[in-house]
Structure 1
């Protein structure tokens, strides 16, 4: 019968092997899958994933005891919490321990922040290159903000430090502008950032006609805290979004990739609120400026027309006086001409009448009779021919100084 070992014997042997082979602490690279702080100690679960399908290739437990945690925090400060996040790949120094009851555990003594930061920068550069390759880097900037922003979809965490500042600046603006906002709660740090932001963008996209823009805001943080906004899936969804996306991540030094693809990247949540208010104020100022220009132009046109009418009146008045003067001269000249022509005409007519009078005098029968002629009448009719007289007719003969009757005998 084959020899059998007890469980404790096996575990003791494993403990001895590990102790002999890992006498000193070693540096290990792994991804944090779970992290939990309890009573000053931090308990971790480490994994390594396969590149082919992202499935788990290895898993181990770890712990940072209180003294080690204090050492790490004194060395890294605020970076400590940023590094110890689920989903973060880290390089850590640990003592490999094996307990016969609790099994294998890594006792973490130190963290290499430069490794994590370098790895995050590598991810950032890969994201940028992929966005460039897919021609997405400036795509959201091709969208257009409406002249007036009124309806806003806000993606942030209800715990975000800058969220209330954003709403305060937006709703209590000095111009009294009113806005309609819908809040979409999302993780802004940790393993769920990608899932939450992308999921909310999909929800908003389904109702995009209800919004003028999307705002993604976070209340600041370390470079490592903000590294989640270098995620390709988040950035690609922002870049392809059909309406403008405004960001206020809260970092004054480095630019995250999400800010590179956003329509309008602002530094802080309050800067986003101020940008929206000023955008609407600029529209109002343009309207007021246009109104003033119209008023000025109208006044100028009225003034010009008034001057033109006044000048026309003066010209008409001047022309009227000139025309009246000319008319007076013309009438006087015409009167003179009429008088002159009338006088000539009268003299001419007098002369003609005198001539006619003379002619009439010469033709007057009495004047002719004076010259020795006589007029013979038969039955009060002038006898012009001897043929008109017969024997026995009584005729009257008119002479210059009298008349007599006679009877025709033969």
Structure 2
């Protein structure tokens, strides 16, 4: 048998219940309270009011909440709270900030439970940010990487620059214009990245990975963004991004674009500049310093060269004078030596000529004597030859009664053998010739 559920005699309307809750809350929570919470949503409406959602996260379970409530800052209060918070922190109220707010409890029959914010203690937010930063820095120090990038030595000449920035950002354009107007030959390449919002860390790390793949092509890395709200810097208060920057093998120069606040990335980077144009000015100044050093070295080299040339000229002039004097002395000495030698040669030639003349005279005398003797001997021999010739002269033989017989063909007849009869003979005697014919051989 089912139990019967008898309704009350006079049930409450929802509005009556809500008004009852409103009255109870108004009586029990009539004061204001300071509440710690994190902003998960923040929106300024066109009517000038600001609407927020406040949460308390479960520290033991990621992504879970232990409490959540709507909050409102009415227009008149919002203008003052926004101004004071921005002046004292340099930031605006955005999602992710932890705040200490003075609130009152409200309950509306239609809109339900909400909190009305009357004031925000900005010092608490600053303290939370500093606490978060300190935790990151302490972890980097424990990892032994916090000063690695700062310990890298900047190249003497910085020309090849890898730039991480948002494409088309005004800060990037100002940076490039300043470098181009410097007159120096900077070589740059943009590695586009998201520079604000929740994707900053992941996007910048991806750009660093691309640069590291070709790190030998670059001298430094420049990380710049073009200003904006201080709340936009939250992406740079990130351990993973800071660890990547601290351990990067090239010096990283930051110009994240805020005059007053440093981020964890600024702290671990090699050099922190306030703005993109300040980074450009830093690079240009270093290049100017390099050129000044080169100009100074060039001037010193010129002076040293001129001094050295003058010293050499003076040395060569002195050497020239010494060599000139030595040359004159040498020439004079050689002239004297040559003169003495010429005299000795002349004397020797005269003596030799005299000796040769005497020798020649003796030779001529001996030749004359020998020639005369030879001629006498030859004359005597010729006389003997003439006498011999006279003795053998045929005419003399013929005169002594001898004769010479020839055949008709002129051959001398020395014997009678083999002469035929009838052979004609010519016989020469002292006073003529006798012709005869052979009739008989005896």
2:104 corresponds to: 95
Distance 2:282 2:84 in 1: 39
2:283 corresponds to: 276
Over residues 346-390 of structure 1, what are the superposed CA-to-partner deviations in whole Å (9 max), with x where a residue is unaligned?
xxx9xxxxxxxxxxxxxxxxxxxxxxxxxxxxxxxxxxxxxxxxx
Provide structure 2 residue ranges, at least 5 long, that are not aligned to the other structure: 356-442
Residue of 42, 46, 51 corresponding to 1:43: 51
Q: 1:231-250 residue pairs with structure 2 within 5 A?
A: 231-250=238-257
Over residues 120-177 of structure 1, what are the superposed CA-to-partner deviations in whole Å (9 max), with x where a residue is unaligned?
12222222222221122211123344423233313258666x444323322222x253
1:258 corresponds to: 265
2:323 corresponds to: 316
- Asked whether the 8 Å contact 1:83–1:113 carries over to 2, the reply is no
- Asked whether the 8 Å contact 1:238–1:245 carries over to 2, the reply is yes
Distance 1:75 1:103 in 2: 30
Q: CA deviation at 1:239?
A: 0.8
Distance 1:337 1:199 in 2: 102
Over residues 37-61 of structure 1, what are the superposed CA-to-partner deviations in whole Å (9 max), with x where a residue is unaligned?
1111111121221223432222222
Tell me whether 1:155 sits opposite 2:165 in the alignment.
Answer: yes
1:64 corresponds to: 73
2:190 corresponds to: 182
Over residues 258-316 of structure 1, what are the superposed CA-to-partner deviations in whole Å (9 max), with x where a residue is unaligned?
22211111233221011112233333444444555555555555555444444444333
Q: CA deviation at 1:249?
A: 3.5
- Asked whether the 8 Å contact 2:224–2:256 carries over to 1, the reply is yes
Which deviates more from structure 2 when the two are superposed, residues 331-340 or residues 56-65?
331-340
Distance 1:113 1:278 in 2: 39
Q: CA deviation at 1:229?
A: 3.8
**3-state SS of the aligned residue for 1:276?**
helix
**3-state SS of the aligned residue for 1:43?**
strand
CA pair 206-105 structure 1, distance change in 2 beyond 3 A: farther
1:134 corresponds to: 143
Residue of 19, 33, 39 corresponding to 1:32: 39
Larger RCO, structure (CA 8 Å, separation 6 or more): 1
Distance 1:344 1:66 in 2: 142
1:405 corresponds to: none
The CA RMSD over aligned residues, in Å, is: 4.0
- Asked whether the 8 Å contact 2:164–2:204 carries over to 1, the reply is no
- Asked whether the 8 Å contact 1:34–1:46 carries over to 2, the reply is yes
Q: CA deviation at 1:322?
A: 0.8
Q: 1:211-250 residue pairs with structure 2 within 5 A?
A: 211-219=218-226, 226=233, 229-250=236-257
Q: TM-score of the superposition, structure 2-length normalised? A: 0.65
**3-state SS of the aligned residue for 1:82?**
coil
CA pair 138-290 structure 1, distance change in 2 beyond 3 A: same
CA pair 78-183 structure 1, distance change in 2 beyond 3 A: farther
Q: CA deviation at 1:31?
A: 0.9
Residue of 121, 125, 140 corresponding to 1:116: 125
Q: 1:377-392 residue pairs with structure 2 within 5 A?
A: none
- Asked whether the 8 Å contact 2:90–2:230 carries over to 1, the reply is no
CA pair 200-56 structure 1, distance change in 2 beyond 3 A: farther
Q: 1:161-200 residue pairs with structure 2 within 5 A?
A: 162-173=171-182, 175-182=183-190, 184-188=192-196, 191-200=198-207
**3-state SS of the aligned residue for 1:168?**
helix
Provide structure 1 residue ranges, at least 5 long, that are not aligned to the other structure: 350-410
Over residues 171-201 of structure 1, what are the superposed CA-to-partner deviations in whole Å (9 max), with x where a residue is unaligned?
222x25354341524344x555444444544
Which deviates more from structure 2 when the two are superposed, residues 321-330 or residues 336-345?
336-345
Distance 2:203 2:110 in 1: 39
Q: TM-score of the superposition, structure 1-length normalised? A: 0.69
Distance 1:172 1:336 in 2: 87
**3-state SS of the aligned residue for 2:96?**
coil
